[in-house]
Amino acid sequence: MKELRLANKIVTTQIKDRIHYPGRLVADTLANIGRCGILLLLYWYVFNLREGTIQNTTFLLVAWSMFFYFAFSVLRLRDIGKTIMEDVRSGTVEILLNKPISYILYRAWWQLGGGLYSFLVIGIIGTILLTTLIGIPDTMMNLTFALSLAAVFILGIVLSLILYSIVGMLAFWIEEIRPIFWMVDKSVMILGGSYLPIALFPDIMYKLAIWSPFGASQFVTHTMYPSWTREWYSFVGIQLFWIAILGMFTYFLFQKAKQKLSVNGG
């Protein structure tokens, strides 16, 4: 219960901080308009050239898929890796290890709280704009969609935090983790459907998007397609599998990191 109260305090404090200092919200809004907005205009033009359909997929589905990716990215879960690296470099990790909550959980809640306000604002505004301008797909107008979206969204958050935490903890052994971070982050971007919608993926690339942890962390981008109502439970199972495997790896990696910290004195 103490850990839950502390987690609630961390998230609440972060949200209040973002409300009073809206610089992050402005930056996230401009970034999403710049990337997502331009991409949607580009795909709208391409779909019009192809008479509204590409590989049996409409612009309406593609637009919502890409919007979900960019809205999810506003949470900035990827930054936990860089934060852990900075904690290790500065020695802050030794101080945080004494807090009444696991260091990894502390950083996870801190990261989630830091991006939650921007996500809620941009998510609501973006949803209203898309609904007004292009409408809502029929596949999103049922209870199965809502429940499964909530499931893969929450599991996607957990998997993303675990994935980037692993990258961050490599800083205990590697002085510069940015090359590894770059490879992992680009894999997530590509297989998550950031610039090429998953409906347009070649077969082998689509399989990687489903079965790899990089693509699994972004399953929110699959939820509006017609096949989702038949396959959503498989996607949830894949996310749970990777959370279990990578979660155990994170635990043992962190134990090794603490041993290294104890032996070397930081």
User: What pLDDT is recorded for position 23?
Assistant: 76
Percent of the chain's residues with pLDDT above 70: 97
Q: Answer positive or negative: Cα dihedral of 223, 225, 228, 234.
A: negative
Summarised one tens digit per residue, pLDDT across range 52-106 is 888 889 999 999 999 999 999 999 999 999 999 999 888 888 888 777 778 899 9
Q: Which residue has the tokens 């505004």?
A: 125
Q: Which amino acid, residue 29? A: T
Say if CB 107 and CB 7 are below 8 A apart. Answer: no
Mean pLDDT in residue range 15-22 = 81
Percent of the chain's residues with pLDDT above 90: 59
Mean pLDDT in residue range 136-163 = 95
CA torsion, ordered 179, 185, 12, 236, to nearest 10 deg: -140
Give the pLDDT band of residue 2 (cuts 50, 70, 90).
low
User: What pLDDT is recorded for position 147?
Assistant: 95
Say if CB 127 and CB 133 are below 8 A apart. Answer: no
User: What pLDDT is recorded for position 1?
Assistant: 65
228 has a pLDDT exceeding 60: yes
Count of Cβ atoms closer than 10 Å to residue 252 Cβ: 9
In terms of pLDDT, which residue wins out, 261 or 204?
204
Q: Which residue has the tokens 């101080």?
A: 95
Residue-level length of the chain: 266
Give the contacts of 161 (CB within 8 A, at least 6 positions apart): 77, 80, 108, 111, 112
Question: How far lies 224's CA from each of 50, 72, 192, 199, 228, in Å?
Answer: 21, 15, 14, 11, 7
262 has a pLDDT exceeding 70: no
266 has a pLDDT exceeding 50: no
Mean pLDDT in residue range 239-259 = 93
6 has a pLDDT exceeding 90: no
Mean pLDDT in residue range 131-141 = 93
Summarised one tens digit per residue, pLDDT across range 159-203 is 999 999 999 999 989 878 899 999 999 999 999 988 888 888 889
In terms of pLDDT, which residue wins out, 224 or 95?
224
Per DSSP, which regions of the chain are E strands? 53-54, 57-58
264 has a pLDDT exceeding 60: no
* Prediction pTM value: 0.93
